[in-house]
Amino acid sequence: MSGLSLLLRAARAAFPAGARQLRTGGLRSAYAKELFLGKMWKEEVFPYPEISNEELEEINQFVGPVEKFFSEEVDSKKIDQDAKIPPETLKGLKNLGLFGMQIPEEYGGLGLSNTMYARLGEIISLDGSVAVTLAAHQAIGLKGILIAGTDEQKAKYLPKLASGEHIAAFCLTEPGSGSDAASIQTRATMSEDGKSFLLNGSKIWISNGGLADIFTVFARTEIVDNDGAKKDKITALIVERAFGGVTNGKPEDKLGIRGSNTCEVHFENTKVPVENVIGEIGGGFKVAMNILNSGRFSMGSASAGLIKKLIEMTAEYACTRKQFNKKLSDFGLIQEKFTLMAVKAYVMESMAYLTAGMMDRPGVPDCSVEAAMVKVFSSEGAWICVSEALQVLGGLGYMKDYPYERYLRDSRILLIFEGTNEILRMYIALTGMQYAGKILTGKIKEIKKGNVGVALEIFVNKFRDSLGRKVDLGLVGEAGVAHPSLEESSKKLEENIYYFGTTVEGLLRRL
């Protein structure tokens, strides 16, 4: 058990039972989806998710050691140049318990909430290679076991994954299958006795592929439907390197995140016990999507952490560098760039911790749309902000003697992995439209049944819209939840949400 884990356990033991619960409202799982109906469930976001003083104290107890380690022990320049994380750095990460941040304490992990995980992400993001290595391990590599594994699978694999003795990788992408995950060709063939699969195929661009002992692998399997027809469906499997037949190619030479291990992984007649199926046979596509959907939110806090560090370093330069007998920081165009970076970082942080707070509520809330929104905004915001920082720094920012150009190279991957932003934009739109479509279809069915109330509601709404209705979603006014200084912005937001909903409804009626 890591020293940090022991520290956390001691701290938690001192807190009263239930002190770590987030002080938030009841569970709703469709905040972002409701926007497509022109509605805003303000109870979901007002007040902003708040953690208890006890949990805040707990967070601060482990933030210090992690910050100290990254500032004193992580040589990012060397990692980038050598395209490898040194063994002593990996050992330090393991000793801090960072390979088991979200693995429950009963399996030897730190058992962090999503909010606490996001806070650590702000620090870890300062080295892109380390951040990707840890994320590939736990945000996707072992996440399938965590969210869909059996008790036996968790007991067998999670302890060594939590300590870092074993490292995990997520194997989905193939030479002919990228964003179209359903088109994978790797195949798992059931043995005649039904006790195991023979796995054959290749995966590409696998983070931790050359380091991993445990792989979450997605493969086609033949299943028999209820009507007796045979079909190919995707199944998720836990594969150990020790099973045999698992090999990997040389590390890829990448533009950024150069120290993270990325390579091809090949499976040749790898025998996998049927007990290692995650979820059910043929249910792997859903497992894959749930894994990816659950981890994207942390990109917001990670990007915010990176941008805040960039602001700090760039501001120091702008306040000392003089041109035309003036500091750079005195020029309006330079101030504008810092304003942009500060606003982007604030929004990234706000979106990430709001989503984390929703995910930390009891039950299993569906925050996949919110997480996708966080990923798209934060990845694009980070790319813009790093570019603006380099513009402030001028030629200095372009030199390899300084870390800025590395931040630029590292941040480019954010728009590509864990779902390209183009795919996620379609996911957000289609998921929201589908949700709104179900509600609208339900109303149409009620009208056909003779429900006059529903028909009248639709008529009245359309009549009010034709007269130019005054939109009131409860953000402002006597019972308003937004600060009075934000009244003008709140009214604009209410109008945008409402008329977005009417636009969605109009599009759906055309289909």
pLDDT in tens, 245-255: 999 999 999 99
- Residue 449, CB half-sphere, CA atoms under 13 Å: how many? 9
| Res 202 pLDDT > 70 | yes
The pLDDT score that the predictor gives to residue 440 is 84
For range 473-488, the mean pLDDT: 89
| Res 446 pLDDT > 90 | no
For range 45-51, the mean pLDDT: 85
Rounded to whole angstroms, how far apart are CA atoms 345 and 368? 21
The percent of residues above 90 in pLDDT, for the chain, comes to 72
The percent of residues above 70 in pLDDT, for the chain, comes to 91
Please state at what angle helix 368-393 crosses helix 421-448, rounded to 10 degrees. Answer: 150
**268 is annotated as an active-site residue:** no
pLDDT band at 337 (very low <50, low <70, confident <90, very high): very high
| Res 17 pLDDT > 50 | no
More confident residue, 219 or 6: 219
Highest mean pLDDT among 57-61, 200-204, 365-369, 476-480: 200-204
The pLDDT score that the predictor gives to residue 21 is 42
Of 44, 58, 240, 418, which is the active-site residue?
A: 418
The pLDDT score that the predictor gives to residue 5 is 60
| Res 496 pLDDT > 60 | yes
| Res 506 pLDDT > 60 | yes
Contacts of 350 (CB under 8 A, 6+ apart): 48
| Res 10 pLDDT > 90 | no
The pLDDT score that the predictor gives to residue 18 is 42
pLDDT band at 468 (very low <50, low <70, confident <90, very high): low
More confident residue, 446 or 275: 275
CB 272 within 8 Å of CB 188? yes
Q: How far is CA 133 from the centre of its chain?
A: 14
The pLDDT score that the predictor gives to residue 13 is 54
More confident residue, 215 or 13: 215
pLDDT band at 19 (very low <50, low <70, confident <90, very high): very low
For range 222-229, the mean pLDDT: 84
pLDDT band at 396 (very low <50, low <70, confident <90, very high): very high
Question: What rounded mean pLDDT belongs to the chain?
Answer: 90
| Res 143 pLDDT > 60 | yes
Token pair 């005649």 is found at: 192
For range 249-263, the mean pLDDT: 97
pLDDT band at 466 (very low <50, low <70, confident <90, very high): low
Highest mean pLDDT among 49-53, 286-290, 342-346, 363-367: 342-346
The pLDDT score that the predictor gives to residue 285 is 93
By CB neighbour count within 10 A (0-12 exposed, 13-18 middle, 19+ buried), where does 57 fall?
A: middle
CB 197 within 8 Å of CB 221? yes
pLDDT band at 378 (very low <50, low <70, confident <90, very high): very high
Could you list the beta-strand ranges (E) of 288-438.
322-323, 326-327
- DSSP for 202-269 reads EEEEEETTTT-SEEEEEEEEEEE-TTS-EEEEEEEEEEEGGGS-EEE-PPP--SS-TTS-EEEEEEEE
| Res 385 pLDDT > 60 | yes
Alpha helix segments (H runs only) across 96-233: 114-124, 128-135, 143-148, 151-163
Rg of the Cα atoms in the chain? 25
| Res 7 pLDDT > 60 | no
For range 461-471, the mean pLDDT: 69
For range 336-359, the mean pLDDT: 95
CB 214 within 8 Å of CB 161? yes
Three-class secondary structure of residue 405 per DSSP: helix
Highest mean pLDDT among 172-186, 359-373, 435-449: 172-186
Rounded to whole angstroms, how far apart are CA atoms 477 and 481? 8
| Res 380 pLDDT > 90 | yes
For range 84-105, the mean pLDDT: 96
